[in-house]
Amino acid sequence: MSNQVDFGPLAELIGVWKGDKGTDLAPEPDGAEVNPYSETITYAAVGDVTNAESQVLAVVRYHLEVMHKENNSKIHDETGYWIWDAKTETVINSLIIPRAVCVLAGGKFDSKVDENGQLTLDVEATIDHSDWNIIQSPFMKEKARTNSFNRTITVGNGKMKYFQSTKLSIYGKEFDHTDENELFRQ
Ligand code: HEM
């Protein structure tokens, strides 16, 4: 591993970010609940890795913590990596949430920069995707199954916005569990 690497679009992420205008829509047995939240995300440069002596990936590790605005209790914790494959222009987000759910989401990087000088990172995974999948415990598969995950992050000039949709089968119905927030580099 070396840390003299080109992180490509992931270079924009590295640092500590905070935002307090998050909105979560989460499932409840009788419908849904809306949770306003504040959030801290820390992205750290790892370096690069070589796979099978041919694929070189640039890697950023992150940890995010989400607190309910009402009482500052933690409502989401997530750790993972963002990975950049320059050769195929692919971004990958591998993540774990402590409900015994792991996601390997990926997508082709579109190098377009918008009018605010920001880049977009767009990844998806589904339980039946040929490349990008979800692994979950037997309990979650049966009772609170994650069927798909999509995450879009727009980042640049010290500002980040994201929207994500986690499609669940829970309480005998289909539920679109969504989260969005705006964060600023500290
Ligand atoms: C900002 C991000 C997120 C927040 C704030 C959040 C928050 C929540 C909340 C408040 C619940 C309801 C928990 C309860 O009623 O006890 C929930 C349920 C759930 N979340 Fe998330 N979540 C986030 C992201 C994710 C992600 C990325 C995944 C998976 C890829 C995920 C998977 C689930 C699952 C499977 C449940 C159903 C478990 C249950 O309600 O019993 N969540 N989430």
* Residues within a 6 A CB radius of ligand 1: 24, 26-27, 35, 37, 66, 75-76, 97, 99, 101, 103, 144, 146, 149, 166, 168, 170, 177, 179
Closest CA to 132 of 148, 116, 114: 148
- Give the residue whose CA is nearest to atom 27 of ligand 1: 166
- Pairing mode, if any, of strands 31-51 and 173-185? unpaired
Token pair of 171, please? 């309480």
Token pair of 53, please? 């002596």
Q: Is the dihedral of CA 50, 55, 60, 64 positive or negative?
A: negative
pTM (two decimals): 0.96
Per-residue pLDDT 10s for the chain (186 aa) are 555 799 999 999 999 999 999 999 999 999 999 999 999 999 999 999 999 999 999 999 999 999 999 999 999 999 999 999 999 999 999 999 999 999 999 999 998 999 999 999 999 999 999 999 999 999 999 999 999 999 999 999 999 999 999 999 999 999 999 999 999 999
- Give the residue whose CA is nearest to atom 4 of ligand 1: 76
Homologous superfamily of the 8-185 domain (CATH): Calycin beta-barrel core domain (2.40.128.20)
Closest CA to 22 of 63, 74, 91: 74
Hey, where are the domains in the chain? 8-185
